[in-house]
């Protein structure tokens, strides 16, 4: 099957097995492992496309569910698709909307044909099926689109998860049949199965047989401990084709990016950097900093002395704390810029460590510096 999405494996780290590769898309080719900033409503909160380019972002995410509700996929299509609508000429990935259906709606009913639920904005009754999710994503025009799946909660019983995996496989097949722009957009399948190895194996087998151009590992970062996520990745990623990209959905803390890369993941996304930035928390080379804390009121040093981003080159902790405490939007822009930059540069360091066959050493050094090796260390 011809596809507009292609993965080129460049090197495997001898120390860890991590992969250095290139993701080829209709809007450019980008080195992996990569972190993809999330622009839920066709914008990465507070940041311009030009700023994202400056910091080296390659692919960004937008959300099918939210754009379906506002402004409507028909309006985005009329504008020429997401790339034209948001003035972004690099890669775009849209998720299927499945996660939002299951996480935002208090009322939902899962049937074989799809999911009945209520609009989280106004309570209207809505219905989303594999065919509808694919139609919306075809209209949005992203380079990579995702199959509509069920994202079960953690923990879930084995019996529930088995039924869910089987339904997700049937839905994936329906998404493929409904996909109308296969020459322009690559449709990825999503492997589910929770923490159950045999169900992950069953899900991967079903999806690989459908020959998607790429595969995501879903149903992680939903409340399970980090060691469970790593264990699931260890037995799941080897089940996926080595010549196709592997995407771990919704994961963005620095430790999980490194650990995911070590376990064969190529693509990551998460709202984490902008979400915690809005709350006055930043990631630095020396650990997590809550800039709202009183100890920074007279701290006239950069957020991160080892960072060369726009924020760190120009503004102090004291000033940024003042802006955040006063609810000034500029403060949120500065923390968000720094956090997104931090994760993009972290992945550049990961790729360099793979080139040098020293990713395990890099992990140890980074964890020590960041504080992940300390008892009761914060996730980010």
Active site residues: 95, 269
The CB-based long-range contact list for 67-73 (8 Å cut-off, 24+ gap) reads 67/41, 67/42, 67/94, 67/136, 67/140, 68/97, 68/136, 69/119, 69/121, 70/41, 70/121, 73/135, 73/136, 73/139, 73/140
Assess contact for 256 and 229: CB atoms under 8 A: yes
Distance CA 330, CA 47 (A): 11
Q: Which of 235, 255, 230, 158 is nearest to 191 (CA)?
A: 235
Count how many Cα atoms sit within 13 Å of the Cα of residue 99 in the half-sphere of its side chain: 19
Query: With the C-alpha atoms ordered 107, 247, 69, 186, is the resulting torsion angle positive or negative?
Result: negative
Pairing status of strand 125-128 against strand 246-248: unpaired
Helix locations, the chain, DSSP H: 49-54, 64-69, 73-78, 82-86, 98-104, 130-140, 158-178, 197-208, 226-236, 254-262, 272-278, 310-314, 317-325, 329-355, 359-370
Distance CA 74, CA 92 (A): 18
Eight-state DSSP code of residue 93 = E
Contacts of 75 (CB under 8 A, 6+ apart): none
């Amino acid at each position: 099957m011809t596809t507009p999405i292609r993965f080129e494996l460049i090197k495997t780290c001898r120390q860890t097995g991590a992969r250095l590769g290139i993701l080829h898309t209709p809007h450019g080719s980008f080195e992996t492992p990569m972190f993809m900033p999330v622009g839920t409503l066709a914008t990465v909160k507070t940041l311009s496309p030009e700023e994202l380019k400056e910091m080296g972002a390659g692919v960004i995410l937008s959300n099918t569910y939210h754009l379906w509700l506002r402004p409507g996929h028909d309006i985005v299509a009329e504008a020429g698709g997401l790339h034209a609508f948001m003035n972004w000429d690099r890669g775009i990935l849209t998720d299927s909307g499945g996660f939002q259906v299951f996480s935002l709606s208090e009322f939902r009913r899962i049937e074989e044909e799809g999911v009945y639920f209520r609009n989280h904005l106004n309570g209207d009754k809505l219905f989303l099926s594999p065919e509808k999710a694919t139609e919306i994503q075809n209209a949005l025009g992203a380079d990579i689109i995702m199959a509509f799946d069920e994202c079960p909660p953690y923990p879930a019983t084995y019996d529930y998860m088995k039924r869910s995996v089987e339904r997700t496989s049937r839905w994936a097949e329906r998404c493929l049949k409904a996909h109308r722009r296969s020459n322009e957009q690559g449709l990825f399948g999503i492997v589910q199965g929770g923490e159950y190895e045999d169900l992950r194996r069953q899900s991967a087998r079903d999806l690989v047989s459908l020959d998607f151009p790429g595969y995501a590992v879903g149903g992680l970062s939903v409340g399970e401990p980090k060691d469970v996520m790593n264990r699931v990745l260890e037995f799941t990623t080897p089940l996926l084709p080595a010549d196709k990209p592997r995407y771990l959905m919704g994961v963005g803390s620095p430790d999980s990016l490194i650990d995911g890369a070590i376990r064969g993941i190529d693509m990551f996304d998460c709202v984490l950097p902008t979400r915690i930035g809005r709350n006055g928390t930043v990631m630095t080379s020396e650990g997590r900093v809550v800039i709202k804390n009183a100890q920074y009121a007279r701290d006239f040093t950069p957020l991160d002395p080892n960072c060369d981003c726009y924020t760190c080159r120009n503004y102090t902790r004291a000033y940024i704390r003042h802006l955040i405490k006063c609810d000034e939007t500029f403060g949120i822009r500065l923390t968000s810029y720094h956090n997104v930059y931090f994760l993009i540069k972290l992945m550049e360091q990961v790729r360099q460590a793979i080139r040098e066959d020293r990713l395990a050493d890099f992990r140890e050094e980074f964890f020590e510096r960041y504080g992940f090796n300390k008892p009761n260390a914060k996730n980010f």
